[in-house]
Amino acid sequence: MRKSVLTLAITAALGAPTFATAQTAPAAAPAPAPSPLTGNMSLITDYRFRGISQTFGKPALQGGFDYAHSSGFYVGNWNSNINEGAGFPKGNLEMDFYGGYKPTFGDFGLDIGTIYYYYPGTDANAARGTAITNPRPGGATKTGSVSNHEIYVGGSWKWLSLKYYQAISDYFSQPGTKNSNYWDLSANYDLGSGWGLLGHVGKFKLKGWSTGTDATNADYTDWKLGVTKDISGWVLGASYITTNGKGSCTVGNPGYYCFGNDQPNGGPGAVPASNGVSFKNAGKSTIVFSVAKTF
């Protein structure tokens, strides 16, 4: 779920004046234009998607590629390991496919596109969690793999960006949750000498949710503050991430973001019990470390 991961896109163009005379060698040929195809990889201590842990607090290996045309159109793919207890029973892989249009106008930018999240091998019906009693309209079920399809629109100015995402399918295969949405306000400020400062606040709204005695409302806000350091193209990062998502993991009212390390016994909102499953508040404050490389 692209992407609570720390990345910093850095480009550099080096050049020097040349003086062609009869006594000097010919000027060097211009440097080739950057390739429109780039790849990326990263290792992170806890994969947080919109502030919520997808790996039960364990590390994630992530990577993908992007193709960006000079016209502003782009497509890409990104992948990460995940834990099935975050709502992906029988699955351990997330695959994101996206495309859009991203023109720039001086210091301003626009970004319009769509993203599809896919979890091969998962069972969407089991992802509802066994301890949630009819939390969605009609108690509907979902078959097939877990997935989510969103459209987004955003704008940027220098180091600030604001983006809005809206689900055009059931949100991660939770029946009745179409039109769930997320606001993302982010800052990425270059401090110089390879240092960068990151800031973020996001707001999530799950449509079609019904509260009950076994699970609390799924809406929440998340925050992030971090720093990055570029060392010869390798970007090291550290961020403090927190949310107000409900995940107390108490038997009376565990909260929607109480995740177990197993499915279906430890699905979102499941009641902690002595069934051998470990439980965690997936939105609890944490510090995440990362190393990333774009090539």
Residue 270 has pLDDT above 50, yes or no: yes
Residue 24 has pLDDT above 90, yes or no: no
Is the residue at 270 inside a domain?
Answer: no
Tokens of 25: 């060698």
Is the residue at 131 inside a domain?
Answer: yes
Q: 4 vs 184, which has greater pLDDT? A: 184
CATH number of the domain to which 121 belongs: 2.40.160.40
Question: What is the domain range of residue 49?
Answer: 37-243+283-294
Is the residue at 143 inside a domain?
Answer: yes
Residue 241 has pLDDT above 60, yes or no: yes
Is the residue at 28 inside a domain?
Answer: no
Domain count, the chain: 1
In this prediction the pTM is 0.83
Q: 135 vs 178, which has greater pLDDT? A: 178
Which pLDDT score is estimated for 210?
56
Is the residue at 250 inside a domain?
Answer: no
Is the residue at 160 inside a domain?
Answer: yes
Residue 131 has pLDDT above 50, yes or no: no
Is the residue at 254 inside a domain?
Answer: no
